[in-house]
Amino acid sequence: MNSIVLIAILVLYLGVLFYIAHWAEKKDNSKWTNNPYIYTLSLAVYCTAWTYYGSIGVAAESGLNYLPIYLGPVIIAPTWIIILRKIIRISRINKISSVADFISLRYGNSRFLGALVTVICLTGIIPYIALQLKAIAETFHIVSNTPIRTNIFEDNTTFIAIALALFASYYGTRYVDASEKRKGIVTAVALESVLKLVFFVIIGIYVTYSVFNGFGDIYEKASQLPDFVKRNTIGGLPQAINWGLLCVLSMFAIFLLPRQFQVAVIENNRENHINTAVWLFPLYLLIFNLFVYPIAWGGNILFEGQDVNSDAYSLLIPMHFKNVLLTALVFLGGFSAAISMIVVSSIGLATMVTNNVLIPYNFIGQLKGEEQTINSTRILNSRRIGIFSLIILAYFIYRFFGLDYSLVSIGLVAFVIIAQLAPAFFGALFWRRGSRLGAVWGIIIGFAVCIYTLLIPYALGASNAANSLISEGFMGMHLLKPFQLFGLDYLQPVPHALFWSLFFNFITYFGVSVSFKGNYRERNYAEMFVDINKYVTNHENAFIWKGTAYRNDIEKVLIRFLGEERTRRAMNIFNLKYNVDKNQELADARLIKFAENLLTGHIGTASARILIASVVKEEKITLPEVLKILEESKENIIINKKLTETSRELQELSAKLKDANDSLIQKDQQKDEFLDTVTHEIRTPITAIRAASEILIEDDEIPEELRKQFLQNIISESDRLNRLIDKVLDLEKFETGKQKINVSENRIMETIENAIEPLQQLLTNKQISIHVEGKENTKALFDEDRIFQVVTNLVSNAIKFCPEQDGLIVIAVHDKADFIEVQVRDNGKGITKGDFENIFDKFYQSTNQNFKKPIGSGLGLAICKQIIETHKGKIWATNGANGGACLNFTLPKK
C-alpha cells in the first residue's frame, strides 16, 4: 500500500480519536462516557501491540505459551470486587493520582519512596512504550512496503510518534488536578479497545474460515509440520511452575502497571463499574485469544521455510493474498492497541514524574508565594512536556537501541520490574506493620536482583551463551549464574527473575518492617488504608497531627494552587462538614488533612505534605502516642456508633411509650365512656323504680289497675337491672381472660334449636317466622352454654331488626373443612356500612334501628364477640342478598 495513503488513513483515524475525545469531554455526553462498559473497555488497554502481534509470534514459536499473560488477569478478576474496590476507595478519598502517590502516601507521604516508585515505573515502561512505537513503525513499513530510513527525519513513523505525543500531551493534561477524570482519553481508549478486538476477530475469522477450512483444517495441516509436537508440548512440572509464575506476574501487572492503575483506579467514576468489569474484562480477553492460535499456525503453514517475522503474521497473511482492505484494518487495529497503551502510560508516567519527582524535589521551582495561575500553568506545562518527551524519548530508544528482542520478551521484562512494587503495594492494603524503610529496601533489593538476573544478561545479549557472566556466573561463581541463581535451573529467565526478585523483595520488606518501627505518619496512614471502610465519610477524623497552625496560612497555600474561588468553596464545605466556626483562627488536624488532600491531586502527596508543613508548626508525636490516639479514635468511633444506636433505641422506646400512652388514653376514654354508659343504663331502671314507688307510696287514690302496672314495672325494671349487672360481669370476665369455657364436641343444630325454644313465644307474638338450615349431625368444638347464649343474642338482635310485618329469620349452618359457619339473617333494613365493625363494641347502638330503643343493654353483641373469639372463631356482620342484616360466626372443628 502506498505510504501516503497509509499516512492519510492514520491522520484520518487520529482525527476521529481527537473528535471522540473532544466529544466525550462535554458534560452532556456523560451518560455515554460514564458507564461500566466504557470503564471495562478502557481496562482493555492491557492488550497492547504485544497482544495484537506478539501473542501470535509466541504461539507460532512455542504453542500455548502466550496464554499465562491473560490467564493471570482472568484468575484474579473476581477479587477486584474486594481489592480493586478498596484501592479505588483509598485513592478517591486521598485524591491519589498514581501508583507512586499511592505507595508514597501509605508510607508516610514519603518523598523518596514516591520518587523510587516513579523511577521503577520509568525503567519498566519507557522501553515498553518504545516497543509499541517499534510495532507501529515496523508494521507501517511492512504494510507500506517501505524500508526503514536511517535518517529519522525522513522516516514517516517519526511524524506519527510526534502526532501521538501531541495528542497525549493535549488530552492528558486538561486538569491541574491529576486525580480528575479524563473522560476524553478514556472514551478514546475504550473505542480503540473495541476496534482492535473487532479487527483482530475479523482477521481471525478470515484466516480460519477463508484461507483455511476451519480450526480442524489448520490443526490437521499444522500437525504435519516438522516441529509441531515439540513446540506444542507442555514440559511437565518445571514448565507448569513457569506457567504459574507467569500467571502470578500478570496478576500483579493488572494492578500495578501505571496504565492499568490509571484506567482502573484514577479514571474510575463509580465503584460499581467493577461489578461489570469482573466478568466483561475476562470475556474480552477470551475473545481476543480465541484466534491467536489459528492465525499463528495458519502463518506457520503458509510461510513454512521462509524467513519471516512471525509477530507480523496477521499482516502478512492478508498481504500474501493481496487483500488490501483487510491489511489496512489489521494495521489500524494494531495501531489502536499501540497508541492506547502509549497515551495512557505516558500520562500516568508524566503525572508521576511531576508529582513525585519534579515538584517535591523543587525541579520546577519552589511554587511558593506564586500566583495560582502561574503555579497551575507551571504544573500543567511540566506534565505536558513530560508526556511529550516521554514518548519522544521512547521513540529515540527504539531508534538507537534497536530493541532486537521480540515484543513479548521486552513486555515481560517490564512486568517483572513493575512487579517489584507488589509487596509494598499489597502490604499497604492489608498489613498495618509495613513500614517505609521496609518498602524502600524491598523495592531496591528486588530491583537489584531484577537488574542482575534480567536486565544485565539481556543487555549483554541473551543469546550470547558464550558470555562468561551468563555461563560461568559472577566472578566464576556458579551459584551466581544470572539465569540459574543459587542453582535454580529449571525456570525460564523471566519466571526465574520474577521468583528471585520477589523473594528477596518480600523478605526484605517483611524483615525490615518487623524489625524497625515506622514513624507516626506511616502508622496513621496504615490505619487509614487498611481500615478504609471505617473512614470513607470522614477520613479527616482519622488523621493525627499535633502542633500549631493558622487557618489563614493554610488558606493562603491553598489559594496558590486552587485559586480564591475554589479555596473559599472548599473551606465552606469543610466548615459545614465538621461544624467549624469560620472565624476560628487555629487549624486542627482535620483541616491539615483536608488541605493536604486538596493539594495532593495537583502536586502529589509528598509535596502536599511538604507545602503544608512549611506553614504550620508541627510537634513531634511518638509512635506510642499515635497508637493511643488511634485506639481512642477507634473507641470514639465505636462509642459514636453505640451512641447512635442508643439514641435510635431511645427514639424507638419513646415512640413505643407514646404509643402505649396514646392507647392508655384511648383505653381510659373507652373506660370513661363505658362507665358513663353503664351508669346511665343502671340509673334508668332505678329511675323507673323510684318514680313508680313514689307514686305508690304517696298516692292512695291510684286506681287498682295502674297500681298493679306500676308494681309490675318495678319487677321488670329490677330484672333488667340484674341482667345488666350479669352481662357487665360476664363481659369483664371475658375481657380479662378470666372466663373459662368448657369446649367439647357438640352438635350445633341441637344447640340452635335449644336456643330458639325460649324465644318462640316472642317470635309468635311478633309474627316472625324462623327457619333453620343445615345438616343435622354437623359437629364442632364449643362450650354449649356459651354458644346457646350467642345464638340467643343474635336471634334477639334479628328480632329487633325484623320489619313489623312478615318478619323472617334464617339460621344457616355451613360445614367447611376446618370449621363451621353459622349465619343469622333477617329481612330488615340491614346494617349501614359504617356499623359493620362497630356493632360489636360495647353499648354501641345502631343508628338504623327501626324501633325506638333497643330492648337489650347494648352489651349483647360485645359479649358474643368475646365468646366467639375465646373459641378461636370469628364473628362479623354483612348484609344479606335481600338487604337484611346478616351476622356470621365460625367455630373450629378441631
Partner 1 sequence: MKKILIVDDEPNIVMTLEYTFKKNNFEVFIARDGQEALEILKTQFPDVIILDIMMPLVDGFETLQQIRQNENLNHCKVIFLSAKNKESDIEKGLALGADAYLTKPFSLKKVVEQVHVLLA
For binding to partner 1 (CB under 8 A), which residues are involved?
A: 676, 679-680, 683-684, 686-692, 694-695, 698-699, 702, 706, 709-710, 713, 716-717, 845, 847, 849, 852-854
Closest CB 831 distance from partner 1, rounded Å: 15
Nearest residue to 261 (alpha-carbon basis) of 193, 129, 352, 173:
352
Closest CB 835 distance from partner 1, rounded Å: 14
Question: Of the two residues 69 and 714, which places its CB atom closer to partner 1 in the complex?
Answer: 714
Burial 26-36 (b: 16+ CB within 10 A, else e): eeeeeeebbbb
Collapsed DSSP state (helix, strand, coil) of residue 421: coil
Closest CB 696 distance from partner 1, rounded Å: 10
Phi then psi for 63, rounded to 5 degrees?
A: 65, -130
Phi then psi for 877, rounded to 5 degrees?
A: -115, 145
Q: Which residues, listed in sequence order, are joined to residue 747 by a DSSP beta bridge?
A: 779
Question: Of the two residues 232 and 848, which places its CB atom closer to partner 1 in the complex?
Answer: 848
Q: Which residues contact 187 (CB under 8 A, 6 or more apart)?
A: 20, 21, 23, 24, 32, 33, 38
Question: Of the two residues 237 and 697, which places its CB atom closer to partner 1 in the complex?
Answer: 697
Question: Of the two residues 35 and 684, which places its CB atom closer to partner 1 in the complex?
Answer: 684
Nearest residue to 172 (alpha-carbon basis) of 401, 18, 378, 330:
18
Closest CB 678 distance from partner 1, rounded Å: 11
Q: Which amino acid is at 506?
A: F
Question: Of the two residues 276 and 845, which places its CB atom closer to partner 1 in the complex?
Answer: 845
Collapsed DSSP state (helix, strand, coil) of residue 399: helix
Using alpha carbons only, what angle is made at residue 812 by residues 811 and 816, rounded to the nearest 5 degrees? 150
Collapsed DSSP state (helix, strand, coil) of residue 524: helix
Collapsed DSSP state (helix, strand, coil) of residue 301: helix
Q: Which residues, listed in sequence order, are joined to residue 885 by a DSSP beta bridge?
A: 879
Closest CB 879 distance from partner 1, rounded Å: 21
Residue 172, Cα to own-chain centre: how many angstroms? 28
Phi then psi for 451, rounded to 5 degrees?
A: -60, -45
Question: Of the two residues 569 and 680, which places its CB atom closer to partner 1 in the complex?
Answer: 680
Q: Which residues contact 111 (CB under 8 A, 6 or more apart)?
A: 104, 356, 360, 361, 606, 607, 610
Interatomic CA distance for residues 619 and 522, integer angstroms: 16
Closest CB 713 distance from partner 1, rounded Å: 4
Question: Of the two residues 451 and 702, which places its CB atom closer to partner 1 in the complex?
Answer: 702
Closest CB 855 distance from partner 1, rounded Å: 11
Closest CB 840 distance from partner 1, rounded Å: 19
Strands 807-815 and 768-773: parallel
Q: Which residues contact 300 (CB under 8 A, 6 or more apart)?
A: 60, 222, 225, 310
Closest CB 758 distance from partner 1, rounded Å: 23
Question: Of the two residues 510 and 843, which places its CB atom closer to partner 1 in the complex?
Answer: 843
Burial 227-259 (b: 16+ CB within 10 A, else e): ebeebbeeeeeebeebbebbbbbbbbbbbbbbb
Closest CB 828 distance from partner 1, rounded Å: 15
Nearest residue to 779 (alpha-carbon basis) of 738, 836, 819:
819
Closest CB 704 distance from partner 1, rounded Å: 14
Closest CB 799 distance from partner 1, rounded Å: 17
Closest CB 784 distance from partner 1, rounded Å: 34
Judge contact between 338 and 132, C-beta under 8 A: yes
Question: Of the two residues 565 and 804, which places its CB atom closer to partner 1 in the complex?
Answer: 804
478 vs 451, 457, 469, 486, CA distance in Å?
Answer: 18, 15, 9, 8
Closest CB 690 distance from partner 1, rounded Å: 4
Interatomic CA distance for residues 417 and 447, integer angstroms: 7
In the block, cell 477470551 appears at 286
Interatomic CA distance for residues 386 and 126, integer angstroms: 12
Question: Of the two residues 652 and 672, which places its CB atom closer to partner 1 in the complex?
Answer: 672
Question: Of the two residues 401 and 851, which places its CB atom closer to partner 1 in the complex?
Answer: 851
Question: Of the two residues 482 and 685, which places its CB atom closer to partner 1 in the complex?
Answer: 685
Nearest residue to 395 (alpha-carbon basis) of 54, 598, 176, 161:
161
Closest CB 662 distance from partner 1, rounded Å: 23
Closest CB 851 distance from partner 1, rounded Å: 8
Question: Of the two residues 236 and 703, which places its CB atom closer to partner 1 in the complex?
Answer: 703
Question: Of the two residues 28 and 704, which places its CB atom closer to partner 1 in the complex?
Answer: 704
Question: Of the two residues 683 and 872, which places its CB atom closer to partner 1 in the complex?
Answer: 683
In the block, cell 523495592 appears at 443
Question: Of the two residues 28 and 698, which places its CB atom closer to partner 1 in the complex?
Answer: 698
Q: Compute the 3-state secondary structure of the chain and give helix, strand, coil in percent, each to the nearest 5.
A: 70, 5, 25
Judge contact between 68 and 248, C-beta under 8 A: no
Nearest residue to 441 (alpha-carbon basis) of 464, 467, 415, 423:
423
